[in-house]
Amino acid sequence: MIKQAIIPLAGLGTRLLPLTSVFAKELLPINGKPGIEYILEECIDSGIKEIIFIISQKKKIIKKYFYNDQFYKKIIKKKKDNRIISEYKKILRYKKMIKFVYQNKPLGTGDAVLKTKKYIKNKYFLMLLPDDLIIKKNCSKSMIKIHKKFNSSVMASMTVKKESVSRWGIFKFKKHLDKQNSLIDDVIEKPSIKKAPSNKAVIGRYILPKKIFTVLSKQKPGKGGEIHITDAIQSLINNNENFIAHRFSGKYLDCGTMNGYIKSTLKISKL
């Protein structure tokens, strides 16, 4: 049963500087709604009951977004505005589901995941990277179905342009399970074009096993001196854990760059 999701939010967001020097990119509106709310809706709609946000002191504004009760109460008292009341109700509903943990040094995605160790209850949990929006079809929901069918770890995947492989975790598959799902053989973090085993990329949705924490707690820094979740996944694959690459059918929007962010708003506004 997948009932918990984690969302790493403690990165520096250097691709969106200078904006991210003072603001959390995940709160930027995409077609009028903060990006993080699309991610929360995907979680809720896929049956997730608890969501763990990994933030840093620098990104406390994200917590404030959900904990500004006095502010709302005062305004609602003064102005009985139905829009504000329903927005506040929505925030309260989210707040009930979210726990915050801190990663104050951005040592990598693997290190961020490790911060949630003592909160994860079941054998598997979901992880969503908030820069990656997937619209039109709930990717997490489809992945949970695949997880139930094969009882294994699952990652969202997509074919990318050969020239762009160094931006992603790239994998090679062992065998196809069906039209949309394959068993992964090898995965490598941001390889050069020369070293890339394919042009199949991992996108920011993962169903991970709890045992990944044991691997992460012993893991040495990898590329760029960071602890990457991809390296922990490769160690698990080497130890015979099955990882399925799920070719999702929704539309992928990259909100981690300014160009992608602008395009995302345009795409969503046309839905």
At residue 268, what is the residue type? I
Site residues (CB under 6 A) for ligand UTP, limited to 128-167: 129-131
Q: Which residues between 244 and 263 bind ligand UTP (CB under 6 A)?
A: 256
54 binds ligand UTP (CB under 6 A): yes
**Distance between CA atoms of residues 32 and 5, nearest Å:** 24
Whats the size of the chain, residue-wise?
271
Query: Closer to ligand UTP at the Cβ: 112 or 155?
Result: 112
Q: Of these, 24, 39, 62, 108, which contacts ligand UTP (CB under 6 A)?
A: 108
Q: How far is the CB of 174 from ligand UTP (least distance, A)?
A: 26
- Work out whether 209 is an interface residue with ligand UTP (CB under 6 A): no
CB of 32 to ligand UTP, least distance (A): 21
Smallest distance from ligand UTP to CB 110, Å: 8
Does 266 bind ligand UTP (CB under 6 A)? Our answer is no
Among 5, 8, 53, 173, binds ligand UTP (CB under 6 A): 8
Return the number of the residue (177 or 229) whose C-beta is nearest ligand UTP.
229
Point out which span in 106-114, 181-189, 214-222, 247-255 binds ligand UTP (CB under 6 A): 106-114
Q: Determine the size of the site formed for ligand UTP (CB under 6 A).
A: 20
Contact status, residue 204 vs residue 158, Cβ threshold 8 Å:
no
Interstrand relation of 50-55 and 98-102 (parallel, antiparallel or unpaired): parallel
From 12, 19, 76, 84, residue interacting with ligand UTP (rule: CB under 6 A)? 12
145-166 as b/e: b if 16+ CB within 10 A: ebbeeeebbbbbbbebeeeebe
In angstroms, what is the minimal distance from the CB of 64 to ligand UTP?
Answer: 17
Q: How far is CA 138 from CA 42, 144, 265, 268, in A?
A: 6, 10, 18, 15
Question: Is 193 strand, coil or helix?
Answer: coil
**153-159 vs 98-102, strand pairing mode:** unpaired
Which two structure tokens, joined as six digits, stand for 232?
């922990």
CB of 129 to ligand UTP, least distance (A): 5
* Measured distance CA(194)–CA(220) in Å, rounded: 24
Element (H, E) at 14: none
User: Where on the chain is the footprint of ligand UTP (CB under 6 A)?
Assistant: 8-15, 54, 103, 106-109, 111-112, 129-131, 256
